[in-house]
Amino acid sequence: MCGIVGAVAQRDVVEILLEGLRRLEYRGYDSAGVAVLDASASEPQLQRLRRLGKVQALADAVAEQGLPGGTGIAHTRWATHGEPSEANAHPHVSGDIAVVHNGIIENHEALRAELQADGYQFQSQTDTEVIAHLVARAVSGGADLLTAVQQVRSRLEGAYGMVAINRQTPERMVVARSGSPLVVGFGIGEHFIASDQLALLPVTRRFAFLEEGDVAEITRQSVRIFDLENQPVEREVRESSVEHDAGDKGEYRHYMLKEIHEQPQAIANTLEGRLLNGQLNLEALGDLSDVDAVQIIACGTSYHAGVTARYWIESLAGISCNVEIASEFRYRRPVIRPNTLLVTISQSGETADTLAALRQAKELGITKTLSICNVPGSSLVRESDMTVLTRAGAEIGVASTKAFTTQLTALLLLTAALAERAADASAVQQRIAKALESLPGLIQQTLSMNDDIERLAEHFADKHNALFLGRGDQYPIAMEGALKLKEISYIHAEAYAAGELKHGPLALIDAEMPIVVVAPHNDLMEKLKSNIEEVRARGGELYVFAEESAAISAAENMIVVPVPACDDVIAPIVYTLPLQLLSYYVAVIKGTDVDQPRNLAKSVTVE
C-alpha cells in the first residue's frame, strides 16, 4: 500500500528519505511527498514538497529547491480517500504538525465534522488530514507530541501506521502502529522509521519491529516505545538478513523479469533444510497429526496458490480442504469442522483481509493456524501458531511471480506433511520428495523458453481479450495466468476450467480471442484435447503449452509451445513460468508500467 519513511539525524535526511521512497515505491505510486524540519536554523522551518506521480517527480523538485534539515518524514501514496493529486498527497500539515499515514481511518467523517466545528479547515479529501488536525489540537492544548499522539490514537478507528513531527520540537518524531506495519531502524547517533525495512537498508541493518498498539518517540539519541496502556516496553533489536541490493534490478530491465529469473534459486531456498538428500524433513512444520480438515484463506495470487493446494491436499493427503478469498470468508458465517487447520497464504503477511480472516477464524474456534509467508516478523507470522517461510527474497514487482511459485513449493511440503496419516503415506512422500528435488533444475530449464515466448507475445499485444484454459490442478494456474495478463498488460483475461467452456464461454470464441491452454501430459489430457477441438471448430486461435509426449501438434490456428516434461505433481509450478513470461512480454510490447501497473499496489493493508 502506501510507503512511509522517516529519519532523525544530524545530517540532512532528504536523500535518505527519497531513496527510501524509491525502495517502497512498488507499494503505492500515485503521488509522493516529504516534509523536513531544520533545527539548525535560528527559527526552525517546516518545509514540505509534494508531487503527483512517481517519486522521481518529487526528487526533481527537491533537487531544484533543496530541502535541508535533519528531521523528516516522507510518503508514497496509493489513493484510498480522495483522488491522486498534490493536495491529497502526504505529508498533511496542520499548523506546526506534519503527518504521514498508511491505512484507513474509518471514523474520519465524524472526526472531520468535529474538527470543522472547532474551526479547522481542511485542504484535502483524505482521511489522514484529520490526524494532523487532531495532533495539532492536542499540542495547542499543551500536550507534548508523544502525549498528543497517544491521546489521538484513542480517537482513531481503523488500521493505520503513522508518523508525526512538530516544528516546535524539531529533533523528534512520534510514530504509532495499529494494523499497519512500522519498523524502527537504529543507526549511530541517528534513528529511522519505515513501513518496510527494505527502505532503510542503505542506512542501517539493525531493526526493531513495532507491535500492534505501540507508540514510539524517536530522537537522535533514543527510541522510547510504549504499549497500548502507555507503559514503556522493549522491542528486540535484530540484525536484518535481507540483502542490501534486494531492491536493485541488476542486469534486468524490470524487477518482474529479474524475479521470474530468480525462481530456481528462490525455490531452492524454500526447500533448504526441508528436503535433504532426497528425504523430506518436515518436523519444523509442526505437529499436524490431529488435522482432519484444512481451510485455506488468501487474496490475489496467493489465493491461486491455495486453490492449487486444494487439489494436492485432497488427492495426495486424503484430507478435505476448502479454499476461500479472505475478503469473503471474513464476512460470512462459515461452518468450521472440528480439528480444522487454518492455512493463510500471503507474500507480505500484511494483507488486511487475510489478517482479518485469520482473526475471525480464531474467533470461530479454530485453534490451529499455519501461515505460508515470505516476510519473517510480519503480522501474519506473528499471529499464527506455525509458519512455513517461503524465503523468496524481496519481491518488488507488483505482479507476484517468485512469491507464487515458492508458495506452491511450500504448499507441496505441507501436503507431504499432511499425508503422514494416509494409507500410502510413504509412497506419496517419496514421490513429492523426488519431484521437488528436480524442481529448481526444471524451472531453470523452463526459463529457456524465454525467447520463444517473447515472439509469441506479438500475437497478443493488439488483442483486447484472452481466455486461459486448464483442467484439474492446472485450472488455478490458468487463473493465475489470466490475472498476470490483466494486471500488467491491461488486456481483459478470463480463466475457465476447460470443461466449463460449453456452458457459456464458447459463445465468445472468434479470431480476435486468443486462447491459452496449459496442457501437461496427465490423466485429463484426453478430455482437454476434446476441449481444444471444441475451440478449433469455432475458429478460435489457440496457444497450447504442452510437453512433447502429449502429442499435440501444431495445426491451423494452433501454436504448440513445448514445455519440459515433469512429474504431474509439480506441473502446476512448471507451467506457471511460461504464463509469467507471456504476460511480461505482452506488457513490454504494449509499453505499460510493468513493475508498477496502474491503480494497483503490492501490499494491500487496507480493506
Cis amide bond preceding 578, omega within 30: no
> Residue 600, interface with ligand G6P (CB under 6 A)?
yes
Range 327-346, binding ligand G6P (CB under 6 A): 346
C-alpha count within 13 angstroms, C-beta hemisphere, residue 580:
31
User: How many whole angstroms separate alpha carbon 68 and alpha carbon 17?
Assistant: 12
Q: Does residue number 351 form part of the binding site for ligand G6P (CB under 6 A)?
A: yes
Nearer to ligand G6P, 161 or 514 (CB): 161
Residues 399-428 touching ligand G6P, rule: CB under 6 A, are 400
Tell me which of 197, 340, 354, 446 binds ligand G6P, using CB under 6 A.
Answer: 354
Report the length, in residues, of the chain.
607
How many C-alpha atoms does 334 have within 13 Å on its Cβ side? 27
Q: CA 225 → CA 217, 236, 420, distances in Å?
A: 7, 11, 45
**Separation between Cα atoms, residue 151 and residue 157, nearest integer Å:** 13
Q: How far is the CB of 433 from ligand G6P (least distance, A)?
A: 27
Q: Which of 102, 180, 603, 605 binds ligand G6P (CB under 6 A)?
A: 603
What track of x and - describes contact with ligand G6P for positions 202 through 241 (by CB under 6 A)? Answer: ----------------------------------------
Close Cβ partners of 334 (under 8 Å, ≥ 6 residues apart): 295, 324, 364
Rounded-to-integer distance, Cα 111 and Cα 483, Å? 38
- In the residue annotation, 602 being an active-site residue is answered as yes
Residue 348 binds ligand G6P, judged by CB under 6 A: yes
Site for ligand G6P in 537-566 (CB under 6 A): none
Site for ligand G6P in 375-404 (CB under 6 A): 398, 400
Quick check: 413 and 289 in contact, CB under 8 A?
no
Of residues 80, 88, 263, 347, which one binds ligand G6P by CB under 6 A?
347
H runs (alpha helix) in 67-125 = 108-117
Q: Which residues are 395's β-sheet partners?
A: none
Candidates 2, 299, 321, 373; catalytic one: 2
Closer residue to ligand G6P, CB minimum distance, 130 or 380: 380
CB of 62 to ligand G6P, least distance (A): 28
Is residue 605 near ligand G6P by the rule CB under 6 A?
A: no
Residue whose CB is less far from ligand G6P, 80 or 301: 301
Residues 6+ apart with CB under 8 A from 361: 295, 297, 329, 336, 342, 369
Residue of 258, 368, 402, 602 marked active site = 602
Closest approach, Cβ 290 to ligand G6P, in A, equals 27
DSSP per-residue string spanning 185-196: EE-SS-EEEESS
- Concatenate the DSSP letters of all residues of 477-535 into one string: HHHHHHHHHHHHH--EEEEEEGGGGGGTGGGG-STT-EEEEEE-SSTTHHHHHHHHHHH
**Minimal CB distance residue for ligand G6P:** 300
| Residue 2 known to be catalytic | yes
Closest listed residue to residue 216, CA positions, set 180, 164, 253, 252: 164
The answer to whether 299 contacts ligand G6P (rule: CB under 6 A) is yes
The grid coordinates listed for 504 are 457459456
Q: Read out DSSP for 309-328?
A: HHHHHHHHS--EEEEEEHHH
Q: Does 47 bind ligand G6P (CB under 6 A)?
A: no
Nearer to ligand G6P, 169 or 400 (CB): 400
Among the residue ranges 123-131, 297-305, 517-525, 546-554, the one whose residues contact ligand G6P (CB under 6 A): 297-305
Asked if residue 596 binds ligand G6P (CB under 6 A), the reply is: no
- Cell output for 30: 500515485
Identify which of residues 26 and 543 has a Cβ nearer to ligand G6P in the complex.
26
Which residue in 309, 604, 605, 606 binds ligand G6P (CB under 6 A)? 604
Q: Least separation, in Å, of the C-beta of 38 and ligand G6P?
A: 38
- Applying CB under 6 A, the site for ligand G6P has a residue count of 15
Q: Which stretch binds ligand G6P (CB under 6 A): 33-41, 57-65, 109-117, 298-306?
A: 298-306
Q: Map the footprint of ligand G6P across residues 15-34, applying CB under 6 A.
A: none
Residues marked as catalytic: 2, 602
Summarize as ranges the residues that interact with ligand G6P (CB under 6 A): 299-302, 346-348, 351, 354, 398, 400, 600, 602-604
